[in-house]
Chains A and B, each alone.
Chain A
């Protein structure tokens, strides 16, 4: 982790309640506390309706917390000074369909206060970076969802912001585009920039994040470093040959499969594995192999949230 002491994002006891109808209220986010340091890459993971977009909108100042405080760089979220240092990609990026990619980026460059002398060069560079060079003069109404997402990423990284806030980064992108976007973000990460993003794509989170926040029903279920999460999902697998299952097994050990005279056990800790190996050796059973299987973030997520991410 590449965290600095100065927080880039500070969320204190954030609660957002929406009015669904005159009487029904929906608690989208409940008592969220979060601090993100400079240079950290933090991923927000959760099922649909977990509150990811609400948190991002609160960070951008698009909606006002029911209670709690949101600050970016020590400034009030949504303030012009804070937004000057942010690159933002909305969940469903929509752009003016009558503009071309060049014109749209020209508009965002003006809003981003890019000096006129740098504008043209910067726009060409961004267009090339996101792979829109051949279509940059076409009206955006002709663009596919993936192409619009590329444009969204170009406008988000415009001006080399200190903090990137990305809502569903790789939504609608094909594998090649995903790879390109990942490279762009890894470049940002390597230059010590801060990235906060939400994603359904757990592979993306695994590749980019230092820290992962698991969210469900507006509440943080887990907030740990990615390495901690993955190591807690490690499984110790021991396969033995020519044996029957011992009557009493050490705690934390279970039988995974039986195939012919091979039995495969799974131990949930190193201690349990050692106890298992000692037991089978005492019984004169041959250990064929013992390996450590690494867990995936998806396994972890399903385990914690209790249902699969859609």
Chain B
């Protein structure tokens, strides 16, 4: 485990040394501040607007940082040949892969936490209150980041870096925005299209379930603990599946 942690540590160091997470954070903060200033003008309903902007920025920007970081890890290691001296040492490919997963997962979680802190500060600054559901939204967003990292890492072993980023971002945004659409059109579908829609619905990881933004915006009460537990297990299941596929793929790859 020490070896996996060492790989994770280097992965975090690499991410910390890059400029893109800082640019995203500064940009996000500027946008949040801009949205918050609206509340100074006493426009009714602007509190919801500030929360909406804050949480959307958090979702989109943390997703971009997470996907780009996860997508570059393995292709860069292989292309730059930094992988060879590492795998020349007694670490299994699975251990190395897990180290990458933990490293990007920790880094992505940190970005989400920083964004939520920024949102909370802005809300505090403009005296906008949030309930416990805000912190539940943070928790589920972190869980979703881990399984997105697992998925992107896995995809990066099958596709080029550019393709991985594009497919991952599109897939995440599409799932988040359109997954529920299948439910709406379900009754109108028949035959193959119905089977296809059902297959997609049951196979696709439902990222939208991890999004409590609407509940935060409209000031809903906190969701029950069993829901959080269920979502955690759901996220772990998908992360496990992606990790297993990725490990198998990496084990069989010529480097």
Residues on A lying within 8 angstroms of B by beta carbon are: 57, 60, 62-64, 80-81, 83-84, 86-90, 92-96, 98-99, 107-108, 110-113, 152, 155-156
Contact = CB atoms under 8 A, between A and B. Distances in A.
6 residue pairs, one from A and one from B, having the closest CB atoms: A88-B88, A111-B89, A63-B254, A90-B84, A84-B90, A110-B6
B82 A83 contact: no
B14 A62 contact: no
A5 to B, nearest CB: 26
Nearest to B96: A111
A256 to B, nearest CB: 47
Contacts of A90: 81, 84-85, 88
A88 B85 contact: yes
B255 A94 contact: no
Looking at A86, A107, A108, A111, which has the most chain B CB atoms within 10 Å of its CB? A111
Contacts of A110: 2-3, 6
B93 to A, nearest CB: 9
B255 A63 contact: yes
A14 to B, nearest CB: 14
B27 interface: no
B89 A94 contact: no
B90 A99 contact: no
B148 to A, nearest CB: 24
Contacts of A94: 80-82, 84-85
A155 B254 contact: no
A92 B84 CA distance: 9
A155 B17 CA distance: 23
Given A83-B89, A90-B84, A96 B10 contact: yes
Nearest to A155: B85
Interface size class, chain B: 20 to 34
A124 to B, nearest CB: 19
Interface string B1-32: 01100100010011001000000000000000
A80 B255 CA distance: 16
Interface in B84-120: 84-92
29 contacts: A60-B84, A60-B87, A62-B255, A63-B255, A64-B252, A80-B91, A80-B92, A81-B90, A84-B90, A88-B88, A90-B81, A90-B88, A92-B81, A93-B81, A94-B80, A94-B85, A98-B13, A98-B14, A98-B17, A107-B6, A110-B3, A110-B6, A111-B86, A111-B89, A112-B89, A112-B90, A113-B90, A152-B85, A155-B85
Nearest to B80: A94
Contacts of B85: 88-90, 93-95, 108, 152, 155
Interface string B74-86: 0000001110111
A37 B89 CA distance: 22
Nearest to A156: B88
Contacts of B86: 108, 111
Nearest to A158: B89
B87 A108 contact: no
Contacts of A111: 3, 6, 86, 89-91
A160 to B, nearest CB: 14
A83 B88 contact: yes
Looking at B2, B3, B85, B92, which has the most chain A CB atoms within 10 Å of its CB? B85
Contacts of B88: 60, 83, 86-88, 90, 156
A109 to B, nearest CB: 9
B202 to A, nearest CB: 35
A94 B10 CA distance: 15
Contact of A64 (B80, B82, B89, B254): B254
A63 B13 CA distance: 29
A49 B81 CA distance: 19
B82 A62 contact: no
B71 to A, nearest CB: 18
Nearest to A63: B254
Nearest to B13: A98
A96 B92 CA distance: 19
Nearest to A16: B254
A156 B87 CA distance: 12
Contacts of B252: 64
A99 B12 CA distance: 12
Contacts of A107: 6, 10
B143 to A, nearest CB: 29
Contact of B87 (A62, A89, A96, A98): A62
A223 B85 CA distance: 29
Nearest to A108: B89
A156 B88 CA distance: 9
Nearest to B91: A111
B2 A95 contact: no
A141 to B, nearest CB: 10
B7 to A, nearest CB: 8
Looking at B14, B80, B84, B255, which has the most chain A CB atoms within 10 Å of its CB? B84
Contacts of A64: 252, 254
Contacts of B80: 94
Given A60-B88, A62-B254, A63-B254, A99 B81 contact: no
A61 B10 CA distance: 23
